[in-house]
Amino acid sequence: MLPISLAIAFSLSLFLLLLLGYLGVPLWAWSLYTAGILAVFQAPTWLWIGFGIVALVLNLPLLRRSLLTVPLMNAIQVLKLLPSISETEKAAIEAGTVWVDGEFFSGAPDLNRMSSEPYPELSTESQAFLDGPVEQVCRMATDWEINRRKDLPPEVWHYLKQERFFGMMIPQEYGGLGFSNLAYSAVMVKLASRSFIHTATVGVTNSLGPAKLLLNYGTPEQKDYYLPRLAKGEEMPCFALTEPTAGSDAASITSEGIVFRGGDEKLYLLLNFRKRYITLGAIATLIGLAFRLRDPENLLGKGENVGITCALIPADTPGLVLGKRHDPMGVPFYNSPVEGQNVVVSIDQIIGGSEQAGQGWKMLMQSLAAGRGISFPASCTGIAKLVTRVTSAHAVVRRQFGLSIGRFEGVEEPLARIAGLTYLMEAARIYTCAAVDNGEKPAVVSAIAKYQFTELSRKLVNDGMDILGGSGICKGPRNLLANVYTAMPIPITVEGANILTRTLMIFGQGAIRCHPYIYQEVTALNEGDAIAFDHALWHHIGLMVRNTIRSMLLSLSRGALAQSPVSGPTAQYYRKLAWASATFATLTDIALIAFGGSLKRREKLTGRFADVLSWMYLGMATLRRFEAEGRNPEDLPLVHWSMQYAFAQIQLAFEGLFANLSIPILGPVFRGPILWWSRLNPIGTLPTDELGGTLAQAVEMPEGVRDRLTTNIYVPSHPDEALGRLEQAFQLSIQAEVILKTIKAAIRDGKLPPAKPEKLIDAALEAGVITATEATLIREAESARNEAIQVDAFSLEEYQQGAQLTAWPTKELMHHA
């Protein structure tokens, strides 16, 4: 056995080692620590000499660079331990800004900063627009009518233009509404709760399109001419990027423009292109076009291959071929091929003028960096809120075996998932919008939002269809989810297919751009800058040591060692986020070292890393919402469910990483004791059945949680409309349930014969168990319930001819509304 004094010294040295590692002290502090250890344990002279040499080399940058860093740079280049970055990748990486996503890659996230990020409310002006024009346009046509017409009705098109829906993001000085991203997002939420066609139509004109590119890069002349016309709807824009051979790999576009000098001595572009999947393309009057620009005579002074360029092409330009439509899943928004054969336009049609020639890829990446995080999350949140509203009402109204189906645990499970994820999605929507409005262009967060929101809304719509059963699959004016269900593959696919977004963009771009040192190292390596590389490398090594020790200690303590910016029931989740971040950052560095540049081809691994990063972000947004909304105790079950679900997804991803990191020596350790320990001591497990039941019951009650979850969506009051009818039946059913319980009690007491309470209304009235008013209410509830559960049926002729079937005339609906 060791002497007591030696045991104490050893314990203290180990404690200091872990403490210094957890805190992440600089290199000189480690040198002092090592010197102290040598002194305490009375190290021999030769060991002191060796330590002195090593400490001198490590702590003197000039020696360190020449003796260690430069040889390491050469070895890294030979072994390709860091990923190479092409020019297009570099443009994508540099397009956005690093926001809170960088905190997670640090391994020690600043939770105070993240929990203090803006979480704004809508302005009075924006709320008025929601309650006025947006409400009105939703009244004007049902989703069923729009789908049967295969288009928005003419009066809706006129109203959208009249109220500047196509110019929401254009500043007021150009005739637009000048909305913030949050306000625009709120409009999209409400439109999505009415019809996917609204969001597809309005979204393109306000997100990725000529207007946004003109605002950011256009010349004063281009802005003054086009922006007022776009704001008023006098020009209908589209943006043509995707080609048959350039989908997810948009940088490989083959569309070509050639610069030439005309007979009038002015410069022109000769364009040939073939585009597809272009929303609004068939009816566009102004086409934004991405193409590769060549300048054989170097007329622009930028060489022959100028690069990807964006230009504006009026639809009446000779050689432009428009007018055809794709049919995406039968969802009738305009989506079209756009072709051009020997199209000639002035060089002035390049967005930003000739000076911006070759800057198109940068333009697109910078626009997408923010855009993906706004439009899709808004539309998907609107869908989630609609599903919440519909399924919670249906679960009460629909009865089987004498009970509302919401009482059955099999229905409670998906209903809880719908409620919890809707709360989470709304939180992340506002959190992301606030960042963009604050000047951020969070490319990685936008990719997370695009991927996760579209996947989660697909999950929720599937859950909703399961709860509705036959009511969900019989299409007609009464059906509220079938058209949404049909449309769900569309947002999954467009603006970066989800498989690519998950496996390449979220983690692939994030690991380089958001990591504290990787991008600095890659840049310095490519530029041969030994000083910059030395600085980044040794700080990176220190970061790895710190995160490894943090990960170990936080795992041993189940996150208890981490600090939380708040107290109370949610503090545990902040600590778990710190724990997850430390593990994530440690594994990221291990994977980067082990696989180097080949990591981006190991998409099963990068996909799991992306899942961890995504759910940490969604979890943080959920916690921020709870704090921003005043820590409402009624919302606490929603927070608990959402956070537990998020950590369960993180745990699942970690287990996948541990089981599949095929690294020499470390691989068996990950697959063995670490995987075992991870399952024994998990970061998260799925929410309990009891918690899910609490959520389901809460959302089945009027007002309260249900109304807060579905705020600012379109809820018609007219009982002839599907959702209005369902809402009426829901409210009456809730009121009648109290009276039915009185009748059930009378049956148990022998005052009434055994039978279904609904069959004993007259007997209960005669026995004085209920009043005449209460009897009337039960009958009204039963009538409304019976009407709400009916499904549509058509004559053979109507069905075969595809007659324009609507629930009521539009004018009548508007009158009643």
Burial code (b: 16+ CB inside 10 Å, e: under 16) for 527-566 equals eeebeebbbbbbbbebbbbbbbbbbbbbbeeebeebebbb
Phi and psi at 258, nearest 5°, equal -120, 130
Instruction: Give burial (CB, 10 Å; 0-12/13-18/19+) of 751.
Output: middle
SS3 785: helix
Rg of the chain over all Cα atoms, to the nearest angstrom: 31
Give me the catalytic one of 145, 163, 440, 495.
495
Q: Are 356 and 347 in contact (CB under 8 A)?
A: no
| Beta strand pairing call for 305-314 and 286-294 | antiparallel
**In 599-721, which ranges are continuous DSSP H helix?**
603-628, 636-660, 666-669, 675-680, 689-699, 704-709
Q: Are 419 and 705 in contact (CB under 8 A)?
A: yes
At 544, the amino acid letter reads: M
> Is 690 one of the catalytic residues?
no
How far apart are alpha carbons 365 and 456 in whole angstroms? 25
Map tokens 């995080």 to a residue: 373
Which residues make Cβ contacts (< 8 Å) with residue 240, sequence separation at least 6?
273, 275, 278, 281, 287, 288, 289, 290, 338
Burial code (b: 16+ CB inside 10 Å, e: under 16) for 66-100 equals eeebeeebeebeeeebbbebeebbbbbbbbbbbbb
At 407, the amino acid letter reads: R
How far apart are alpha carbons 405 and 399 in whole angstroms? 5
At 91, the amino acid letter reads: A
For residue 41, the surrounding DSSP H or E stretch is none
List of long-range contacts for 208-211, beta carbons under 8 Å, 24+ apart: 208/239, 208/364, 208/367, 208/368, 208/371, 208/495, 209/237, 209/238, 209/239, 209/288, 210/237, 210/239, 210/286, 210/288, 210/312, 210/351, 211/167, 211/169, 211/170, 211/237
Q: Are 623 and 567 in contact (CB under 8 A)?
A: no
3-state DSSP helix/strand/coil % of the chain, to nearest 5: 65, 10, 30
Q: Are 157 and 163 in contact (CB under 8 A)?
A: no
DSSP letter, residue 80: T
Q: Are 295 and 306 in contact (CB under 8 A)?
A: yes
Phi and psi at 119, nearest 5°, equal -145, 75
DSSP letter, residue 716: -
Query: Residues with catalytic annotation?
Result: 495
